[in-house]
A and B are shown apart, each in its own frame.
Chain A
Amino acid sequence: MIHIENLVKRYGELVALDHLNLDIQEGEIFGLLGPNGSGKTTAINCLLALLKYDKGTIQVFGEQMQPDSYHLKRQIGVVPQNVAVFEQMTVYENIDYFCGLYVPDKKTRRKLVEEAIAFTGLEEHQKMLPRKLSGGLLRRLNIACGIAHQPRLIIMDEPTVAVDPQSRNKILEGIVELNRRGSTIIYTSHYMEEVEQICTRIMIMDRGRCIASGTAEELKRMIKTGETIVIEGVALADGQKADIEKLPHVFQVNYSEEKVLTVKCTSAQHNVVRILNYLQEQNVAFGRVLSELPTLNDVFLEITGKELRD
């Protein structure tokens, strides 16, 4: 459905997109994950033919994407990062206005607008002006304006920024439902949990480059960390840290002044048992024990050496 090849975008000396390659298939929820400034939005804007780029090709629905590719644009819905609605129009009027840019027929449009309102749960607010809406409702209106015409491809650029957890969950559920109804979705975010929760395939970006891509599981398998074990309230004596490092599958041990032991292991069974057995053998008391499977942040951290969330 989307094919991007060798895309390069420079802002003077700064390389915003560095030979980016990307393929998205119909029916996917494709997540673009990366810290702020990693090039996610720039890639989207190039894809939408809003930004000039220095090199590369972009194809949407098998055709070269140009600013005047109106027949392609007709099949795309965009939910921009910043809320883009008219302050002077009610919720209904806003959705109707933007839907009207795609669907001229009034009767068809009315049906679509009503469906979008129901889909985003804005029924009770349709006569309200945007300034009367909470942050979460405003984000939902922003989404409704982008999806009302029921596009084949929906591009959502960080749609949950500054949204409360309840609204966020509602939005995420809605995105999955849109996909279930047949839309392909490109979803950019720097929230790894939500990308992991809804995306069928993920590309992790940093400094304009793709550093890894695949399903969440595939990405996690790419890294050494299979499990992170955190044990609180441990009083280790000299040499015991070194002993733990020598245990099978353990490749990194940190012991903090707060007496928290963090052990990183490769993927294997009974990692926790092995460590706890060692501590018991050594008569070392310990408190709470946590075992965490790797996250996308671990993937990012291991590949780039820095946290996904700065």
Chain B
Amino acid sequence: MLRLYISNVKLVIRKREELFWGLLFPLILATLFYVTFGSGIDLEKMKAVPAALVSQGNEVFETFLENMEEGFLAVTEMDEDEALQALKAGEIDGIFYSGEEPSLTVAASQMNESILEMLLSSYVEHEALLRDIGKEHPLQLPAAIAQMADYREMTENVTVSGRSMETNVGYFYGLIGMACLFGAFMGMTAAEEMRADQSALALRRSVSPVHRLAIVLSGMLAVFTVQFISVCILLLYLRILGLSFGEKWYMLLPVCALGSMTGVAYGIFIGSMRLRNGLKIGILISSSLLMSFFAGMMFVNMKDIIEHHIPILNRINPASLIADAFYSVSIYDNPGRYGANLLLLAAITCLLAAVSFFRLRRERYESL
């Protein structure tokens, strides 16, 4: 079994085409993303966004801003003229007006301004609820705002400390999800080399005295090993480019391992089907890219949009789960969410692996 495993690892490493999709292609994309977006924001060095508040009597909104202030928002109360001058001078990035209908004035459309816009829309979305609480339980208002922030963290990936990071980092997390899924190419070939009804090589292996289980497991493990190393290389490369994974970066290794396993299992699942090779490759490319798109690799807000409208899709999309696990560790520091993502990934992997194994363990075929 060990000898088979080592031979299989050597074999997978030499398959240049598959190594291109599993390793080189994600590295190229990472470079392109880096050139296009930069490496994201270093969380530790992130500065608070300066903004002015022109008080117009909306206490609920003012309390909301006060509660959002910590860490990333620096709100100074000013009169309108003073605030406009500060905006013109570039001392602040925006002016909040706490009228009956709160509003925001920004000078440009940069990242910080986007954060302020997002904050305002976040308030508007929950305004009615906050007003009710403010009326009936004014003392509970700060707690309600804090809860709202937590709720948003859990369900929308829009954290109070979030959009700026998602804007850039989200692309890279989506990319890591895609890189894991691209392990499917190696998985597919491995599966085809195990089914005697799909290749002469598999036929030759099938008539050998090696136990079927040993052939299937050594093949799966070899592909997983190479894929996991490829994803780790990608992570290292992203780190070199300047992407920060936070202090608990080591928690990302299980995500990469499980993600790679999911990718490989997905490939084996497709590879074990009796379809034309070209069709299988087409299915793998299109589905992997689609899942990565849903995870935010091409349009970073996609994951949030899906979370709003079809949240189940984010729970069953491995790329989204991988990206979300990265968010949970690097940005939100949310172990519960991290664990949930890993569990879901493990469940998907087990399901795919079990179905694939059931297909591959077959030793006698109806036709060859």
Contacts and interface: CB of A to CB of B under 8 A. Distances in A.
Interface of A: 11, 41, 45, 48-52, 67-68, 70-71, 73-74, 76, 78, 80-86, 88-89, 97-98, 100-102, 104, 145-146
A97 B11 CA distance: 10
Given A50-B196, A68-B363, A88 B11 contact: yes
Given A48-B207, A71-B209, A102-B208, A83 B365 contact: no
A84 B365 contact: no
B3 interface: yes
Contacts of A146: 204
Contacts of B240: none
Interface in B1-23: 3-4, 7, 11, 14-15
B203 A84 contact: yes
Given A50-B196, A88-B15, A97 B207 contact: no
Contacts of B212: 67-68
Contact of A51 (B7, B11, B210, B367): B367
B364 A49 contact: yes
Contact of B365 (A51, A86, A104): A51
A40 to B, nearest CB: 13
A74 B211 CA distance: 11
B300 to A, nearest CB: 38
Contacts, number: 76
Given A70-B211, A80-B204, A85-B201, A97 B7 contact: yes
Given A52-B365, A100-B7, A145-B204, 6 more contacts: A50-B365, A51-B365, A83-B200, A84-B203, A84-B204, A98-B208
Interface residues of B, number: 26
Contacts of A89: 11, 14
Interface in B169-225: 196, 199-201, 203-212
B363 A84 contact: no
Contacts of B207: 48, 50, 73, 76, 78
Given A45-B368, A86-B11, A101 B363 contact: no
Main SS of the interface on chain A?
loop
Contacts of A145: 204
A128 to B, nearest CB: 14
Given A67-B364, A101-B210, A78 B204 contact: yes
Nearest to B210: A101
25 contacts: A48-B207, A49-B363, A50-B203, A50-B363, A50-B364, A51-B364, A67-B212, A68-B211, A68-B212, A70-B209, A70-B211, A73-B208, A78-B204, A80-B200, A80-B203, A81-B200, A84-B204, A88-B11, A89-B14, A97-B7, A100-B4, A101-B4, A101-B209, A101-B210, A104-B3
A73 B204 CA distance: 11
Across the A-B interface, the 4 shortest Cβ-Cβ residue pairs: A67-B363, A84-B200, A88-B14, A101-B208
B267 to A, nearest CB: 18
B81 interface: no
Contacts of A73: 207-209
A269 to B, nearest CB: 50
Nearest to B7: A97
A261 B364 CA distance: 53
A100 B367 contact: no
A50 B368 contact: yes
Interface string B341-368: 0000000000000000000000111111
A59 B209 CA distance: 17
A194 to B, nearest CB: 21
A11 B368 CA distance: 11
Contacts of A71: 209
A48 B368 CA distance: 12
B7 to A, nearest CB: 6
Contacts of A97: 7
Nearest to A67: B363
A239 to B, nearest CB: 57
Contact of B201 (A48, A49, A81, A84): A84
A88 B4 CA distance: 16
Nearest to B204: A84
Interface in B229-269: none
B206 A50 contact: yes
Contacts of B368: 41, 45, 50-51
A101 to B, nearest CB: 4
A143 to B, nearest CB: 12
B363 A86 contact: no
Most chain B beta carbons < 10 A, residue from A45, A67, A100: A45
Nearest to A70: B209
Contacts of B211: 68, 70
Nearest to B202: A84
A83 B201 CA distance: 8
Nearest to A49: B364
Most chain B beta carbons < 10 A, residue from A41, A51, A73, A101: A101
B5 to A, nearest CB: 12
A68 B212 CA distance: 8
Nearest to A77: B207
